[in-house]
Structure formats: structure tokens, C-alpha cells
Amino acid sequence: MKKIAPDYMYINCHTHNFRQIDNCITIINIDASNTYQHIDRSHLLSVGVHPWHIDDSYTEKLDNIKKLTQESNVIAIGECGLDKHRGPHLSIQQEAFIAQIDLSEKLQLPLIIHCVKAYSEIIKLRKDIDPSQAWIFHGFNAPIETMEQALKYDFHFSLGHSLFNPSSKASQVLPFIPNNRLFLETDDNPQLTIQSVYEKASEITKTNIDDLLLIINRNYKRLFNGDT
């Protein structure tokens, strides 16, 4: 593997895998139902209630998010969001999502969003709420028109495994995503390495890896370390 300057790490914006990788900053997603004791404080974490896992006890999970975010290694709220293919009725999903948007604002932590067939609803929410925190569509795989619509409201986009399918919407939209809105991720795919995602993104955008690292490191520092 290529050696990179320590200032430029591979940023993996969203994964469920706890494996530590050299030269890599990884935001590991945990569900808020995990108990406090299970949290490994050496990892950077996002904590949320996934729309698939919203049940009658989700308000307890929201309390758990508040508890967990007292730890400095929790740097984002999520993944949370809306899924029209799976999970409880959309109105319940929306209620839980809005509660997590509130937490993201109160705790001043960016929001990592799971979205299936609900881009217009989520874009409208950001338009109406006008939050101060960044919102990142993780696993973004939607047409250019959706990306452009979301850009009007300052969304960020994290792309991953869909880039390996040349006919995917993700592959087609990637070259049009502005540099300062872009992240890359492996999500829950155990075979995928973050390095291979950067290589694929570099090939699609015709940007060399070092430039891509610089671009995404800047975005990471701006959103998660408070740099401007």
C-alpha cells in the first residue's frame, strides 16, 4: 500500500466495522441501543437510531444518545433518517429523525443520514429547519438533479460501494459533486477497503489520490474538528 503523509489520512466517513487501519480516520457507526459499557473509547463514533431499528422504545435510545455523546470520541449523530422500503411507518421514522436533528443541533454534532427513496422529504426538512450543523447523505446513490437540489441546502455526500458499478447513479454523479461537499466510506461491506474506494473515486474523477486525500481531509477537519 502507498505510504501517505501523516497529515493526509484516508477518511472513512461511515462504517460499521471496528477494524483499525493504518493511515486511516474511521467514523464507526453504533446503534444507540448499545450499552454504555460496550463503547470503545479509542474509536471515533457516530451514534444514532437507524430507521430500521425504530420501535416503541426509541425514546429510550434517544436518551442513550445523549449519554453517549458526553464522550469526546462521539463526533456525529447517526446514522438516522428515512427509508421508504424498510422500517416502521414513515410518520414514526420522521418523528425519530426530527428528534435526532434536534440532538444534532443541541449537541453541535453533524448528522449522518440514511436515505432510501426519501431525498425530497429530507431536503425539505433541511430547508424548513435551517439547521446550523452539516448533514451528510451517506451511501449517496441518486441522480445529478437530486444532488443539485440538495446542494442548494448545503448537504454533504458520502459515497462508497456503488462506485464499483459503472452504471450506478453514484458513479455518474461523483464527478459533479463539489470538492468541499465530498466524503467516501465503506459502510457495512466487509470486503471493501477505504483505500480501494479512494482509488475508484480517483479513477472516476480523474483526480490523483493525493489531491483526493487533501480534499477529503479538509472536509473532515471543517466538519468534525471545527476548522474553517
- Minimum distance from CB of 225 to Zn ion (Å)? 22
Using alpha carbons, select from 55, 58, 28 the residue that is nearest to residue 40. 28
- Which residues lie closer than 8 Å to 74 by C-beta, 6 or more apart? 45, 46, 47, 68, 109
Contact positions vs Zn ion (CB under 5 A): 187
Closer residue to Zn ion, CB minimum distance, 83 or 187: 187
- Contact 33/61 with Cβ under 8 angstroms? yes
* Length in residues, the chain: 228
- Minimum distance from CB of 114 to Zn ion (Å)? 6
- Minimum distance from CB of 138 to Zn ion (Å)? 6
- Find the residue with minimal CB distance to Zn ion: 187
Closer residue to Zn ion, CB minimum distance, 64 or 81: 81
C-alpha cell of 40?
A: 470503545
* DSSP tag of 48: E
- Minimum distance from CB of 190 to Zn ion (Å)? 13
Closer residue to Zn ion, CB minimum distance, 99 or 116: 116
C-alpha cell of 152?
A: 442548494
Closer residue to Zn ion, CB minimum distance, 31 or 214: 31
For helices 194-205 and 209-224, the axis angle rounded to 10 degrees is 110
Closer residue to Zn ion, CB minimum distance, 27 or 147: 27
- Minimum distance from CB of 6 to Zn ion (Å)? 28
Between the CA of residue 168 and those of 65, 162, 165, 201, what are the distances in Å?
Answer: 34, 6, 5, 13
